[in-house]
Structure 1
Amino acid sequence: MTDPEEGEEEPRNEGDRESQAASDGATKSQPMRAFVLHPDIRTERSRRLPDLRLAEAVSLAAALPDMEIVGQEVVRLPRAQPGLLFGTGKVEELKARFKGLDVGLVLVDGPVSPVQQRNLEKEWGVKLLDRTGLILEIFADRARTREGVLQVELAALSYQRTRLVRAWTHLERQRGGLGFVGGPGETQIEADRRAIDEQVIRIRRQLDKVVKTRELHRASRRKVPFPIVALVGYTNAGKSTLFNRMTGADVLAKDMLFATLDPTMRGVTLPSGRKVILSDTVGFISDLPTQLVAAFRATLEEVLEADLILHVRDIAHPETAEQAADVAEILQSLGVKGATPQVEVWNKLDLVEGAAHEQLLAQAAKSETIFALSALTGEGLPDLLEAVSATFDEEKTERQLTLGFADGRRRAWLHAEGVVTGEAETEEGHRIDVRWTARQEKRFRDL
């Protein structure tokens, strides 16, 4: 028998041991048995395949601690029902399945109105979270910095303001989940909207102080001639693994959605000897809750401050193109300007084999802004580092160009290269201010 830990008293007899064991067992939480549903509604168009959307939702659910996924299903619907989302027959069928599987939580991969949530919980006798609530719960569990915690609380208040059937005891908790799926939240104690609004005001005041502190840090960094390189990309694209490979840091890097939530910055010395600051940011995801886009804007300001953006893509994912489109939309919504140079990093090359592997390498080799690599093995990383070095080492000049209205192809090329700093329409065409390298100028002249 091992010695009891210091400060703990060993049970004196067998009866005491049994009593203590029972007490310990009572305090340990059992995994929540969850079932994941993806409503495939005909009236709502999506560029994603329903089965892959369901798989992503299951991965989201698995990102929560103490969660056991016992079932999953794509539910095809001609249209959403106002009161129950699903038809009554499907509701009864799912109710029997949930009872047989002893399900305690149902995760619906899509928006669920407060009325639908309340009715479905009553019909099924389980807790229910929609996609927004699930992502908020993950963010609450992962956020570690003061700003991250405050941003999550603010987003949760905005989401829950119309859902007063839920509990509000989580507002007094210092860290951890929001109480949507367990813990004190199960008491269903309600707070009125005035209490919520007061919390919002308090959190925003605290957040203003934190944001001002971060702005002071950014102002200090601007005095140091170190460019900022920001890693962005879809969640689980491998940004943190690449960050660790480039910096030698030990940021949490797991095959898990939203493994990174708080921005992390480290200095990197490039092959040329130049030093840059590398920033690892929160991963993006399709249908990101609007509350989180607004709430995490301050966190993502590192991207707005960046001198170079590395868009990391999981090139082995079957919907890598759709994920890239989602990232581009969110960057645009954040106000990232086209003048900020961007490089695409096709990551997870180690998961692509044979002819497809060689094809990706050949395709990337044809572009000066695409690099195929494996952050896990290091394959292709030297080429990326050399390119980042060249981006900052090449001298750039400013020019003013005038392009006719019919010269749309060359104008589009300038915007795609991220060299446009200003543009105005004239009677002759477009007057465009550019800042580019000699190499880019030569390529433009050759178009």
Structure 2
Amino acid sequence: MQVNETLNEGLKRGYAITVTAAELEAKVNEKLAEAQPDVEMKGFRKGKVPMALLKKQFGQRVMGEAMQESIDGAMNEHFEKSGDRPAMQPEVKMTNEDWKEGDDVEVEMSYEALPEIPELDLGQIKLEKLVAKADDAAVEEALNNLAETAQDFKAREEGAPAQDGDQVVMDFVGKVDGEAFEGGSAEDYPLVLGSNSFIPGFEEQLTGVKAGEEKAVTVNFPEEYQASHLAGKEAVFDCKIKEVKEPVAAEVNDELAKKFGAEDLAALKGQIAERLEAEYAGASRAVMKRALLDELDKLVSFDLPPSLVEAEAGQIAHQLWHEENPEVQGHDHPEIETTDEHKKLAERRVRLGLLLAELGQKAEVQVTDAEMTQAIMNQARQYPGQERQFFEFVQQNQQMQQQMRAPIFEDKVVDHIVENADVTEKEISKDELQKAVEALEDE
């Protein structure tokens, strides 16, 4: 077997691989000899079929397998000896297309090698960590927001009409063709107008009602209504309005705290302060991560595989086009051309991606099974009722697993760099941190 270099230009590599006819024949004979003990054929005992007959019967198929295995073996041996790591799947093609049995096999292999990543002293990286504390004002603001979400209702003045957002307490009886139907009646039912918890059109007709009034509400059940005997039918609900209540924020006290699982108001304030500071820490990390990536981009420079840059630029252009044309959901659209701006951003992403991968490999950073499981469970929550199906889909889809593993790996590498970098803390206000985050979004 011969491997001769035909191209060595930048990161581009080309090789001519020759597998001799004698090597192929030896490989075929080896594979047939391995299979011979298990072959059964009419007229022969198991394992006693002559080699010549085996070669006539199975030789053609085994020859194809032997070719593939020989070429794969030559490629693997080349990568082990050269130390090259292909940026993408190598392109392999047979050059003697008129090949016939007895000829050598000639193959051309080409690829782009991943570059040598320069050594980096992480201790020379200087970073600033922004630290914001949850002050009393921030805690009070969050507490008041909680009170609004836990709203109560109080009776409006006598004779006041119901408005959108009000709670109407009523008795009602629903009838279809003049007959009351099962499940269509209730007493003292509290309905919040605008909640869309009733049949479409029902709540709108109660806007303006007053306590003590009676009102007939006429609606049509949807065609796809779950109760088939009511689907598509007109119904009349006779409603007796008992109370009209307006929404009010809940009082900030121990009772409010208990609604949110805290022992008392002081404990709730402590929980809020912890949550706020966790949010601030997350925002601070995002700011520091961007600063770190900017710093790394300045510190390192090396050749980039053109195929990776081109693929990344195409992905960036495609994503931006869809953001600008949100009405187009699929991929049935004109070809999207990449610009110099797309290419520049792609070069940065590829450079940083290769650098972080190298640093992570040297630091032996691993994504654990527990971390992957947690990530899958977090994403599965976006599909209520289908969590199990999503979990199974990810388990069976290697590409999806890689997409989910990549950001976890990147964050762990970033943490490793930060641990070894020169980090100084700077205490700032919540508003200053917010401005720093907004600056990221504007870039």
Higher relative contact order (CA 8 A, sep 6+): 2
TM-score range, shorter chain: under 0.3
- Larger-Rg structure: 2
